[in-house]
Structure 1
Amino acid sequence: MLSRINLQKSVVSAARQGLKTTRSYSLAATYFPNEPKSPELITDSIPGPKSLASNEELGEVFDNRAAYFVSDYTNSVGNYLSDADGNRLLDVYAQISSIALGYNNPALKETAKSDEMATALINRPALACFPSTDYGKVLKEGILAAAPPGLSKVWTALSGSCANETAFKAAFMYQAAKRRGSMDFTAEELTSVMQNKTPGASDAVILSFEKGFHGRLFGSLSTTRSKAIHKMDIPAFPWPVAPFPKLKYPLDEFKHENLAEEDRCLAELEEIFHSYPKEIAAIIVEPVQSEGGDNHASARYFQGLRDLTMKYEILMIVDEVQTGVAATGKFWAHEHWNLTTPPDMVTFSKKFQAAGFYFRNPDLQPHQPFRQFNTWCGDPSKALIARTIYQEISKNNLVEATAQVGDYLYKGLSEILAKYPTKVKNLRGENFGTFIAWDFIGASERQEFLDSCRAHGINMGGCGDFAVRLRPTLVFEKNHADIFLALTEDIMKKLYT
């Protein structure tokens, strides 16, 4: 096992970055007075014997082949995830970007123990038919209070995939209603739809982008283009795909090349819009293609997307399932673009612990009931959690704090990784909060690094073919960054010198 961290050295080393944060106190220390000061490693390897045994038992009844290790959430605290053996790892993966305020956050515990929560849990309503008396208030104080600029309505759903699926349905029904005008459904439509045929069943499509990931249900999986294994053996809609820019780094050294690449992609997209033989109801795009490798594009490119969708009367769905809720230094990542016109829909999940999509045009709600519908249509208990998450973010200025610690992390990583140009490349995510990633030269080198991270007490994840990504909580602070940077420097040094 590699050597343990010298905390004194780590603080001095990280302080050389020269960046300061405005907050004069540690919110993490206030939330989590018993949070470890550094990773706590008990076993010689991770997973340890208890985790292995527990995982083997779980495997008898549940498909656990993707498990890194079995976690003990009772023993997890703040930015530290515990495994079944009692090892506590600094977690910069945070349940695939889903933990906003740290493990066992006291504000969330208080919400969980409230009478409101008990009522929501034991009387889970079929919201579309029997909405609770307080659901509108809970939404207005939480999910809707956090709505992206220009969007004032929400449809709540069950997961990120479900959020995208229901946004697709809204797009199809909207475009069909616009064509149909004031006319009612025809007898032919009503008959043909029961045979899954046109004109009742639409042959319109959703366009997505190379390397995009939008979920694992049938519609969302048809728009997912990240890895073949995600889609193998599953029937898919024959929907179109457009190129997504492949930027070169460092950005300031490849300005001309990257502008040309983005222009190429926009030109190819417009050609698809112009010549595609079926109606394109909507496009769906991520601000950063997360599962596909943390692929970025410029605000100029995304404004170009918006201009084209408006020119061709195609809806724009922005998938903020992974990028949303403050991780990028804005509450919603697409706020970095400063679009002249907001997106038509923005989907969310993960860090909000709830799911759904925002919109502003009331016509994105079908005119007839029971069309955008399922039994639960979301979950009031999750809306209560989302409300607390939003209120804690707002009260403690966590959007700005995340932007600042992200700048600190990026500068520290740029100094460390610059020493290994033959092993790593394409550090990206500058001025984008803690949404930072870089590439290794190959998959085996990437895995070697991730395994070494775990052995040193860091839980970290990869994406795409060669990338590693940071996805820490919103209460990941400078002292946590110091530990992470020092360990990363130690690991890289031992692996490659």
Structure 2
Amino acid sequence: MASFLRAARRARPAYARSIVHTSRSAPIGSYRQYASAASAVASEGGEQSFFPDEPASPMIQTAIPGPKSTQAIERLSKVFDTRSLNMMADYSKSYGNYIADLDGNVLLDVYAQIASIPVGYNNPSLLLAATSPEMASAIINRPALGNFPQHDWADILETGILSVAPTGLDQVFTGQSGSDANELAYKAAFMWKRQKQRGGHHVDFTHEEISSSMVNSSPGAPQLSILSFASAFHGRLFGSLSTTRSKPIHKLDIPAFDWPRAPFPALKYPLDQFAAENAAEEQRCLDETERLIKEWHLPPAAVIVEPIQSEGGDNHASPNFFRGLREITKKHDILFIVDEVQTGVGATGKFWAHEHWGLQTPPDMVTFSKKAQTAGYYYGNNELRPNKPYRQFNTWMGDPARAILFRAIIQEVERLDLVQSTAATGNYLYDGLARLSQQYPNEINNLRGQGQGTFIAWDSPRRDEILKKAKGVGVNIGGSGETAVRLRPMLIFQKHHADMLLERLEKIFKS
């Protein structure tokens, strides 16, 4: 092992330089031909570009998909289900804010795949982390963390994942995906609730609990639930799917738990014109949530909520609603889980979206994934640790390689002050969209996300047509819910990118 690490250290500089050079030079000939133009755009706008050698603008060479992409899709479809495919990407030619395909098309990516790319394609800092001996060891010796954690696992966590832990939450349980993170949080909530009912972590299980659990009966399999909200999305795994309420296609044919669904506020826009109506709507939802907590035949052990309902249509609520929700969970002694899988890691102009709420007491658990490139849940209460080993367990229990990558992402976010940049760029972009909504009121309805970084959306009566036309003018953009156009640019998205997006949206609206 020692000789391997010495060899890796010797090889790393040349290898890393090679990768960075390839990633920058591969797209459409050479990125350097765009460097001066990109820098000029940045200087004219008064901002320093985070990726000065990324393309100066999108380039469209063919229809999307073009002939090479079509051929690749046809080949892939023989061995893999491609029916949900958005576009066939060539990541060796993607860089910064731009995603490339096989036909020479380079698109400004304001969707970041599924809000999951944090600091740009082929980010050089991430490439260096990916080619480090530490990463190589984590990949080829992937530890079964519950039984055989690597010697520096605590250091990786403390210098990475835990360095950005939400206030009051100083521990983490790592997982594989956002769905996995939520399901692990549900398990923790159920074990916590039953432990309290039993009299504490020191009280052992009864013979009846042990035997009944093996036949899926109470009390070993308790009659408890997780409360979620209408239009929520918390994942597609078996338990998380029972709390997902966004689209039938996710849930059809899958047996589900009989768990309560509370209404999520349906706000009216512009917010300043409907303050009284929206406050009443939020109170209605809080009242119904509390009623369900008190009356549902399977008592909730926890409430889970997204700061912004992303997959369900980019639905917002005010800080007052979330503060009220927190107070209800405290009043009824149930856990408050905040699902930050999509909203976390800076996209809303705060590292964690729930920081906008001004809570007096923190959530009990915060789940994360997406831009973190890893997954899990934060917590602070020691009682959320199961009373015995192997109760919250699987082979991998996360992945050190992905935790190392998240650490590099965090360092890049801090180095470039990307959370503050995203907040400023989001304000600029929102103002531009507001102007467009006045010019094209039939194209931009219910514009929302003001003060929420670049986490912006609006409703469009021809949403699917707009998404398709956007690719034709060089923009990769996404939708959510039935009619929403949602923006999910990376944290390196800047004002000159916003100008390009606004210009192309106006071109689509005019067509």
Q: TM-score normalized by structure 1? A: 0.93
CA distance, structure 2, for counterparts of residue 362 and residue 335 of structure 1: 23
Please say if 1:50 is aligned against 2:73.
no
State the Cα distance separating 1:78 from its structure 2 match: 0.4
- Contiguous gaps of at least 5 residues in structure 2: 1-36
CA distance, structure 1, for counterparts of residue 113 and residue 154 of structure 2: 29
Q: Is the 8 A contact 1:28 1:477 kept in 2?
A: no
Give 2:403's match in structure 1, choosing from 373, 383, 389.
Answer: 383
One-letter amino acid matched to 1:355: A
State the Cα distance separating 1:493 from its structure 2 match: 1.4
Describe the SS at the equivalent of 2:302: strand
Name 2:188's counterpart in structure 1.
Answer: 170
One-letter amino acid matched to 1:352: A
State the Cα distance separating 1:85 from its structure 2 match: 1.1
Please say if 1:98 is aligned against 2:116.
yes
State the Cα distance separating 1:28 from its structure 2 match: 2.3
One-letter amino acid matched to 1:484: L
Give 2:133's match in structure 1, choosing from 115, 121, 124.
Answer: 115
Name 2:98's counterpart in structure 1.
Answer: 80
Describe the SS at the equivalent of 1:27: coil
CA distance, structure 2, for counterparts of residue 305 and residue 332 of structure 1: 18
Give 1:125's match in structure 2, choosing from 140, 143, 156.
Answer: 143
Give 1:465's match in structure 2, choosing from 465, 482, 487.
Answer: 482
Name 2:312's counterpart in structure 1.
Answer: 292
State the Cα distance separating 1:462 from its structure 2 match: 0.3
Name 1:151's counterpart in structure 2.
Answer: 169
Describe the SS at the equivalent of 1:270: helix
Question: What are the equivalent positions in structure 2 for 1:350-429 lying under 5 Å apart?
Answer: 350-429=370-449
CA distance, structure 2, for counterparts of residue 449 and residue 342 of structure 1: 40
Give 2:266's match in structure 1, choosing from 225, 246, 249.
Answer: 246
Q: Is the 8 A contact 1:28 1:476 kept in 2?
A: no
CA distance, structure 2, for counterparts of residue 363 and residue 85 of structure 1: 55
Percent sequence identity is: 58
Give 1:37's match in structure 2, choosing from 56, 60, 81.
Answer: 56
Please say if 1:477 is aligned against 2:497.
no
Question: What are the equivalent positions in structure 2 for 1:449-460 lying under 5 Å apart?
Answer: 449-460=466-477
State the Cα distance separating 1:25 from its structure 2 match: 2.2
Give 1:333's match in structure 2, choosing from 328, 335, 353.
Answer: 353
Q: Deviations over 1:470-492 (max 9, x none)?
A: 00000001111111111111111
State the Cα distance separating 1:391 from its structure 2 match: 1.0
CA distance, structure 2, for counterparts of residue 421 and residue 482 of structure 1: 19
Q: Deviations over 1:203-236 (max 9, x none)?
A: 1100000000000001100000000011010111
Q: Deviations over 1:285-316 (max 9, x none)?
A: 00000000000000000000000000000100
RMSD across aligned C-alpha pairs, in angstroms?
1.3
State the Cα distance separating 1:279 from its structure 2 match: 2.0
Name 1:490's counterpart in structure 2.
Answer: 507
One-letter amino acid matched to 2:124: P
CA distance, structure 1, for counterparts of residue 298 and residue 131 of structure 2: 52
CA distance, structure 1, for counterparts of residue 356 and residue 297 of structure 2: 34
Name 1:61's counterpart in structure 2.
Answer: 79
One-letter amino acid matched to 1:454: K
Give 1:28's match in structure 2, choosing from 51, 75, 92.
Answer: 51
Higher relative contact order (CA 8 A, sep 6+): 1
Describe the SS at the equivalent of 1:200: coil
One-letter amino acid matched to 1:40: M
State the Cα distance separating 1:278 from its structure 2 match: 2.4
CA distance, structure 1, for counterparts of residue 180 and residue 481 of structure 2: 23
State the Cα distance separating 1:40 from its structure 2 match: 1.0
State the Cα distance separating 1:277 from its structure 2 match: 2.2
CA distance, structure 2, for counterparts of residue 28 and residue 323 of structure 1: 24
Describe the SS at the equivalent of 2:92: coil
One-letter amino acid matched to 1:438: W
CA distance, structure 2, for counterparts of residue 97 and residue 68 of structure 1: 14
4+ runs of 1 displaced by more than 3 Å?
A: none
Q: Deviations over 1:112-148 (max 9, x none)?
A: 0000000000000100111111111011111100101
CA distance, structure 1, for counterparts of residue 341 and residue 203 of structure 2: 36
Q: Is the 8 A contact 1:324 1:331 kept in 2?
A: yes
Q: Deviations over 1:9-57 (max 9, x none)?
A: xx99xx9xxxx98xx522222xxx2x110001111x1111111110111
Q: TM-score normalized by structure 2? A: 0.90
One-letter amino acid matched to 1:227: K
Give 1:266's match in structure 2, choosing from 278, 286, 309.
Answer: 286
State the Cα distance separating 1:274 from its structure 2 match: 1.8
Describe the SS at the equivalent of 1:284: strand
Question: What are the equivalent positions in structure 2 for 1:178-327 lying under 5 Å apart?
Answer: 178-181=196-199, 182-327=202-347
CA distance, structure 2, for counterparts of residue 392 and residue 400 of structure 1: 13
One-letter amino acid matched to 2:65: P
Q: Is the 8 A contact 2:259 2:298 kept in 1?
A: no
Name 1:5's counterpart in structure 2.
Answer: none
Q: Deviations over 1:224-258 (max 9, x none)?
A: 00000110101111100000000000000000110
CA distance, structure 2, for counterparts of residue 90 and residue 231 of structure 1: 33
State the Cα distance separating 1:357 from its structure 2 match: 0.2
Describe the SS at the equivalent of 2:277: helix
Q: Is the 8 A contact 1:52 1:69 kept in 2?
A: no
Q: Is the 8 A contact 2:213 2:220 kept in 1?
A: yes
CA distance, structure 2, for counterparts of residue 476 and residue 226 of structure 1: 28
CA distance, structure 1, for counterparts of residue 494 and residue 358 of structure 2: 27
Q: Is the 8 A contact 1:288 1:323 kept in 2?
A: yes
One-letter amino acid matched to 2:160: G
CA distance, structure 1, for counterparts of residue 99 and residue 444 of structure 2: 27
One-letter amino acid matched to 1:428: R
Name 1:3's counterpart in structure 2.
Answer: none
State the Cα distance separating 1:365 from its structure 2 match: 0.9
Name 1:4's counterpart in structure 2.
Answer: none
One-letter amino acid matched to 1:105: N
State the Cα distance separating 1:420 from its structure 2 match: 2.0
Q: Is the 8 A contact 1:70 1:83 kept in 2?
A: yes
Please say if 1:438 is aligned against 2:458.
yes
